[in-house]
Structure 1
Amino acid sequence: MPRDSLVFNERYTLGVDVAKYKLDCSEVPGRSHWHLRNKPEPVAALVAELLARQAGGTDILVVVEASGGCERLLCEALWEAGIPVHLANPKRARDYAKAIGRLAKTDKVDAAVLASFGQNQRLHLHPTARPDPRLEEIRALVAHRRRLVDEAVARKNALQAAMPDVLRRLVEQELERLTADAQTILDAARDIIASHDDLDTRHAILRGFCGIGPIAAAELIAYLPELGRLDRRQIAAIAGLAPMADDSGKRNGKRFIRGGRPEVRRALYMPAITAMTADPILKAFHQLLIARGKPQKLAITAVMRKLLIHINAACRDSLKAQN
């Protein structure tokens, strides 16, 4: 797509492609490219240069692609300095590259694409808010707990097969250790939540819903901090539970879900299964969908969405009462 057909901002945009050991930078305007080490000293020098530009009245936006945590050093330095940074979704950035005809993929090209991505007015990119360190800690705990639970399930499955007695004893010991460690991690996450009034209030709201236990509550607190601050459609879209249309001409395709946060859907799945049988409202809703001929998988997804909307409304009411 020709550059003239796009609508660009006049602000200074820096696109940064992040790797473990280096940062590739591309700026607009200027179109210059350079790279530096992904270390504290070079990052501090880059931030100082951006601060000097900002002090001179330049509107700045740094666009960084999420890269498995390698971007954390740069983003923390930018947030600390008060420089706007947008943490871009890698898939969205790559789709943009294809849309403007940048099919090649190198670190230099990716940095230039990110700079152009931030310049395009039609995308309405906003600075990413600095993550709450409390939620970051809870997120790390519940993510590791999930890995331990997956390992425990593998050990339980292994015990179903025939094996020597000595091996069986070892697997049983591993299973016992994994189970104990998972509980210790959950207790640690609960302690963090209990030590902060706002998080503890949210935890109490979540536990008040049918099917939401301590595990699901901790995961929803960690992975969905927007609860109560968005409307029903926005919160469903963030979770990846909003049905997407697939119509063309006279064809009305099936609605489907796409994108969103898989951690949130995973946290809501078992509570939705429980609510389908124990919560009168959601049970009736599920039965109505089945009576209309909806597939079971679709009905469960709809119950997850309905449960999330109810939770979001309760959190919104709590926030209003506090204000």
Structure 2
Amino acid sequence: MNNSICGVDVSKEWLDAHVEPSGAASRFRNDAAGIADLAGFCRAAGVELVVMEASGSYERLPFLLLWEAGQPCAIVNARNVRHFAEAMGFPEKTDRIDATMIARFGATKKVKPTPPPSAAQMRLKALVVRLSQVSGDLTVNKQRRCAAGDAETVASLDEVIALLKRQQRRLEGEIASLIDDDPLWARLDQAFRSLKGVADRTVARLMAELPEIGILSNKAIAKLAGLAPIANDSGKRSGRRPVRGGRTGPRAVLFVVARTVARYDPHMAAFYQRLQAAGKEKMVIRIALARKLLVILNAKARDARIEFANAT
């Protein structure tokens, strides 16, 4: 159990810190100098763990620099902290209150440190995010070209489309090289691709945004991806069990790929047919297929990790 926890409310310019149980508090700029001061503040207060919310990437710099300074950190879900604050009687919201609630949430939940990603993992995620952006822009500009009515607009859009295609090919090449250069990633890539219908972009997205695959249990990985049904029972009532939360990127990919895999894999196809025969709703089938695919991929990743560990 952590004896001293510092909650940090992160914004674009400021870092508001509050230490539990001492109550020490201060504000620092969200830049390298301010983060160094925050690290010194934590050392002076005997802080064992810094807890901060995911805050639209503004938490990235303090998280990494605090770890470099030797200060363990953890990132928690902002929605969970807000619900905790309201349950504790704090419906109001200020930076100072948020920092206090983050610290108390970390202490109550016994939050564990979140290890920082490796440089390769951060680069892979950045490349995958950028590839997704470029692909989206490419789709939009192709649609605009179809709707364009004059030659000058068509020519302009053709230039943009050509540029985006070049960037797309370059990003795909860099992602493939990055995966091939890492022995574990290369083994995971081979394991995932053994399932017909799972292509390079699916592999890259899972490795970038779901690096825990093959490490966590099937239930834990499904919950992390937002594909685990949430119990909704009370007394004799057994309610519908929805899915919510989790990482939207991997979940969106699994929704699309699962239906493709079901066309080729006999086990997935049989599972799909059983759900249809049982009269399940389309969305229920879609979620069930995605979860089934994730469980299969998690098992393949677990086996690949074991083989890699035994070979080294």
Determine if the TM-score, normalized by the shorter chain, exceeds 0.5.
yes
Contact 1:227–1:316 (CA<8 Å) still a contact in 2? yes
1:50 and 2:42 aligned = yes
- Residue 49 of structure 1, CA deviation: 4.1
> Is residue 247 from structure 1 mapped to residue 238 from structure 2 by the alignment?
no
Shift of 1:187: 1.0
RMSD over equivalenced CA pairs, Å: 1.7
Contact kept? 2:6, 2:47, Cα under 8 Å: no
Q: Does residue 1:81 correspond to 2:69, yes or no?
A: yes
Alignment partners' CA distance in 2, 1:199 and 1:88: 27
Query: CA contact under 8 A between 1:15 and 1:115: conserved in structure 2?
Result: yes
Change (3 A) 1:10 1:66: closer
Which amino acid is the alignment partner of residue 134 of structure 1?
A: A
Q: Distance in 2 between matches of 1:49 and 1:156?
A: 53
Mapped partners of 1:78, 1:161: distance in 2: 50
| Letter of the 2:99 counterpart | A
Secondary structure of 2:17's aligned partner: strand
- Answer yes or no: is the 8 Å Cα contact 1:17–1:107 preserved in 2: yes
Q: State how 1:92-103 maps to structure 2 within 5 Å.
A: 92-103=80-91
- Residue among 195, 207, 215 paired with 2:201: 215
1:125 aligns with 2:111: yes
Distance 2:37 2:25 in 1: 16
- In the other structure, the counterpart of 1:276 is 262
Correspondences of 1:29-44 after superposition (within 5 Å): 29-44=21-36
- Structure 1 residue runs without a partner (length 5+): 1-8
Which one of 144, 149, 152 corresponds to residue 130 of structure 2? Answer: 144
Displacement, 1:246?
2.2
1:182 to 168, 184, 199: 168
Q: TM-score, normalised by structure 2?
A: 0.93
Residues paired across the two proteins, number: 309
Q: Secondary structure at the match of 1:134?
A: helix
The 3 A distance-change label for structure 1 pair 163 and 95 is: same
Q: Which residue of 2 aligns with 1:11?
A: 3
In 2, are the aligned partners of 1:286 and 1:300 still within 8 Å (CA)?
A: no
| One of 17, 20, 33 as aligned partner of 1:28 | 20
Matching residue of 1:302:
288
Task: Report the residue type matching 2:38 in the other structure.
Answer: L
Give 1:284 deviation, angstroms: 0.9
Q: Distance in 2 between matches of 1:101 and 1:207?
A: 50
For the residue of structure 1 that corresponds to 2:75, the secondary structure is: strand
SS at match of 2:19: strand
1:67 to 33, 55, 65: 55
Aligned pairs for 1:226-241 (under 5 A) are: 226-241=212-227
Q: Which amino acid aligns with 2:143?
A: N
Distance 2:141 2:195 in 1: 32
Q: Is 1:135 equivalent to 2:121 in the alignment? A: yes
Give the Cα separation in 1 of the matches to 2:226 and 2:21.
Answer: 36
Structure 2 unmatched runs, 5+:
none
Identical-pair percentage? 34
Cα distance in structure 2, aligned partners of 1:131 and 1:165: 48
Contact 1:19 1:67 survives alignment (8 Å): yes
Other structure's SS at 2:147 match: coil
1:51/1:81 contact within 8 Å kept: no
